[in-house]
Amino acid sequence: MGLGSIGGSLGLDLRSLGFRVVGVSRNPDTCQKAIALGLVDEASVSLPTVASAQVIFLCTPIAAIAKTTLELIPHLFPNTILTDVGSVKEPIVEVIAPLWQNFVGGHPMAGTTQQGPEAAQAGLFQGKPYVLTPTDSTPATAIKTVEELVRQLQAQIYYCRAPEHDQAVAWISHLPVMVSANLINACLQEPEPTVLELAQQFASSGFRDTSRVGGGNPELGLMMAQYNRQALLKGLYQYRQSLEQITDWVEGENWQALADLLRMTQQARPDFVD
């Protein structure tokens, strides 16, 4: 379900592993493109087309995942396994898990900045984290089936509770988008046009790194804030406190405190990324 960058990439890899992949999209053009690009064996705009599948990956935007599942459920066999790829887990798991026992929440932590079937990439999930968030009542057989598929994508599998997932991604994915967007916005507040122009001309690798996620797809950023609001707010409140502390140190010329912080963050960064 959903033949965009993630659904299409899954289709490519699963087909190359020998699985028969049937796709559904609401748009006939997307279905045609998905077939032409080799993302699926068959594609249709009709939901019941996927009813006979053993495993269904829900790959629509987050806002459509629960709604699509509600429409799909009347067509399914009781043992059909559903899994999704949404970047936020609790709002999806808490709606779908009570409705469909064989549902395993999932989040492949790999992606492209492009959208649609043309953005699909073979091997996208290889070596990347793929988080599964079953509940206490998810049947072991459903978990095992999804885990085995994900393992064949050569992704690194992690298990956690949906709220833990959402708070963790708020820290490392959703808060950075807001911080990075705010950096670009703050620079644009420079009142002197000549200085702003110079800053734009001087901007190089450092600014490219720090502004990248703030200059990405606005719909994705908005979706993060809407669907992971509480976890993001926790991050934003902590960030505001840390920023105020640094501002106080610079105002008070407390260079020792600032140096200690920068030494600590230099040491801590490799615990997050190489």
Nearer to ligand NAP, 117 or 134 (CB): 117
Helix 218-227 / helix 62-72 crossing angle, nearest 10 deg: 70
Residues with Cβ within 8 Å of residue 252, at least 6 apart in sequence: none
Complex with ligand NAP: residue 118 or 190, whichever CB lies closer: 118
Task: Name the residue with tokens 């490392």.
Answer: 172
> Least Å distance between CB 23 and ligand NAP?
8
For ligand NAP, the closer CB: 66 or 142: 66
Pick from 140, 110, 115: nearest CA to 125: 110
> Which of 139/163 has CB closer to ligand NAP?
163
146, with CB counted inside 10 A (0-12, 13-18, 19+), is buried
- Cα 50 versus chain centre, distance: 24
For binding to ligand NAP (CB under 6 A), which residues are involved? 2-7, 25-27, 30, 59-62, 64, 68, 85-87, 108, 111-112, 115-116, 119
Select 48 or 252, whichever has its Cβ closest to ligand NAP.
Answer: 48
Q: Which amino acid type is present at position 4?
A: G
Least distance in angstroms from the C-beta of 62 to ligand NAP: 5
CA 107 – CA 84 distance, rounded (Å)? 7
Q: How far is the CB of 20 from ligand NAP (least distance, A)?
A: 19
Instruction: Give the torsion through C-alpha atoms of 187, 189, 191, 195, to 10 deg.
Output: 10
Q: How far is the CB of 145 from ligand NAP (least distance, A)?
A: 20
Q: How far is the CB of 7 from ligand NAP (least distance, A)?
A: 6
